[in-house]
Amino acid sequence: MTEKTLIPASPTEDEYVRQVATAEPPPLLSETDPFALFDSWLKEALQKEPNDANAMALATADADGLPDVRMVLLKDVDPGGFVFYTNLESAKGQELAANPKAALLFHWKSLRRQVRVRGVVTPTTPEEADAYFATRARPAQLGAWASAQSRTLPDRLALEKKIAEVGLRFGLGKVPRPPHWSGFRVAPQSIEFWRDRPFRLHERLVFERAEGGWATRRLFP
């Protein structure tokens, strides 16, 4: 059991007061374009986060409605949505095939910011998946063929053996995209931007799909 002393204590009032005294209050978040705002935040995160600024938690649900969540990497974003790639036979691939809805969470600890996304999921086109797969390092391409993602692995040797078999199969030639590996696009119905403020009085701005664009509203922290 985790020792309670390992859990950081909540900031004291004096610590909050020092934060307020040293921090310049930022202007309110823009309510015009959620994708432009996300783009600017991601650019800042790429400069300040030590690892994987494009990492996001992906939440799905199984046949019983029990949530599943794991970290994946954002590989594209445009007004159509947020794109990631995976083995279609994995747990997330099967859950999305049965229930094509998902939630995403970006947490940029260095910036004290979060972005939450909820929406409907659609497959990327084969051309999009082919284009992205071609950019992956060859060992990663071979791994996509070798890994029966989310299924039981007898031991590490079994995976290494499978990778060796796939390597021999393709030799020095081009490694095509596996038929069981492709991408998904999460088309947001809502996007919430969260920014840390002292005394837990955080700023929350939600964009929601509306006819002809986006409606916005601010939430109590």
Active site members:
200
CA distance 178 to 88: 10
Note whether 75 and 87 are within 8 A (CB): no
Q: Strand ranges (DSSP E) for 37-180?
A: 55-61, 67-73, 76-78, 81-87, 101-108, 113-123
CA distances to 61, 70, 82, 159, 214 from 105, in Å: 15, 10, 11, 31, 20
